[in-house]
Amino acid sequence: MAAKQKSGLLQRLMTSSPILRLGFPLKENDISETNSSHKPTLGVFLGSVINILLWPIKRFRRMGRYGKIVTLIVLGLIIYWRVNAYQKSGLEVEVRAAKYGKLVESVNASGEVTAENVANLVFQTAGEVKEVNFKEGERVEKGDIIAKLDTTLLYNAYQSADATLRATQAVLNSTYDTLQGKEKTETYAEISTRTTAEAAKDRAYWAYVSAVKSLEGAYIRAPFDGILTQVPAVVPGTIIALPSSATFQVFGPETTYFRAEVSEVNINKLANGLAADIEIDAFPDQSFEGKVLGFNVSSTTTSTGGTAYVVRISLPDNDKLKFKLGMNGDVDIVISEKDNVLLVPITATIEENSKTFVWVEDEGRAKKVEVTTGSSSIDDIEITSGLTEGTKVITRPPSSIQKGTRLKVTN
């Protein structure tokens, strides 16, 4: 019973199929044979499959001339579209050919313009401003009085302290004369007299020192030859209280240099006298030549928490104050130079299991190549083995790249 149901199902499928009816319907005897055997044969099934596959070809043969031409054009367009889409598909990458050139190995660091001679000066004594003798931007010489307070009371205190010191010194000298020769026979009364005179003289001396310091604190003097780069908003009559925030700044332009922070990884590569190329943010279209003047032996902590060492680099003459304190910039310190070496972008290299690799474009596919590297610069790295000139290297390999990946070169 089950066999008959299956046979009837196959018969209905073959006779009701639009494809089979339009193309190749089964013959009467085939159906009768199926019914008589109570089950579909493998030959009947395979014949049905072949009929389905051959149906488009037979339909094409039955078309007229123009129908065939249109069909072929449509098929051609479909094939062209699919091939073109396949060729354009792929992982987008940029490549650069490995080439021979000059490699400048350098250490890069950020920093700012500063100077050896920079002084921030404030009044050390409270009082009233009497005069301000220089304006911002003017040159001063060592010892010049930039500004001063009213010293009337301070000078009187100094004169009084000086007189007291001289008087107590005279009394002490007289006491010493009286007791001369009695170093071993002094009475307690004589010891008291001498000690009182010595103590009075000591108090007078320290009062004198304090008066001198207060008087000197009323003056702002230039500590060296330089330029006044900061003048506070004070005028005669302004009252200065302690601690004072009224700051005068003097710096010596001839001592200007670039202060850079070099990481601990690179500091041992440097030496005094190495050439440097400095770029200041304030001069985006210029670079300035300098040399390493020296570096600190004690470390400093960078703004990101790393360990670095301060390196001092010379700047060109700064008489016209082109380089101002605090200007930010970057420096490349040249460690070595090599001519005629094979170069690829440093971003092309990847490290895996203590080995170095690059991805290259080979007939539209990705290929991974092990290489040996040498010196490097900020942009390029030397390849000592593994590549030849002209090999197209993927400059920034995507994380999804694999061996054999189809590539789409965008540059």
pLDDT tens figures, 104-145: 888 999 999 999 999 999 999 999 999 999 999 999 999 999
pLDDT attached to residue 20: 41
**Residues shown for the chain:** 411
- Is the residue at 346 inside a domain? yes
pLDDT attached to residue 22: 40
Same domain as 80, residue 9: yes
Same domain as 97, residue 72: no
- Is the residue at 387 inside a domain? yes
- Is the residue at 55 inside a domain? yes
- Is the residue at 374 inside a domain? yes
Same domain as 97, residue 163: no
How far apart CA 290 and CA 331 sit, in angstroms, is 9
Are residues 105 and 336 in contact, defined by beta-carbon separation less than 8 angstroms?
A: yes
Domain limit, last residue, from 39, 60, 85: 85
pLDDT attached to residue 30: 45
pLDDT attached to residue 62: 72
Same domain as 59, residue 97: no
pLDDT attached to residue 29: 47
- Is the residue at 235 inside a domain? no
pLDDT attached to residue 13: 43
Same domain as 97, residue 47: no
Same domain as 97, residue 27: no
Same domain as 8, residue 81: yes
- Is the residue at 144 inside a domain? no
Same domain as 398, residue 355: yes
Q: Could you list the residue range(s) of the whole structural domain that residue 372 is in? A: 93-101+339-409
- Estimate to the nearest angstrom the gap between the alpha carbon of 171 and the chain centroid: 71
pLDDT attached to residue 3: 46
Same domain as 97, residue 58: no
- Is the residue at 377 inside a domain? yes
pLDDT attached to residue 91: 87
Element (H, E) at 358: strand 355-362
pLDDT attached to residue 312: 97
List average pLDDT for each run of 10 residues in the chain, which is 411 residues long.
Answer: 46 44 44 46 67 69 74 77 62 93 91 95 94 94 96 96 97 93 88 95 97 95 94 93 91 94 92 94 94 93 89 91 93 91 95 94 93 90 95 94 90 80
Collect all residues with Cβ–Cβ distance below 8 Å to 311 and sequence separation of at least 6: 109, 111, 259, 260, 261, 262, 267, 270, 292, 294, 295, 296, 333
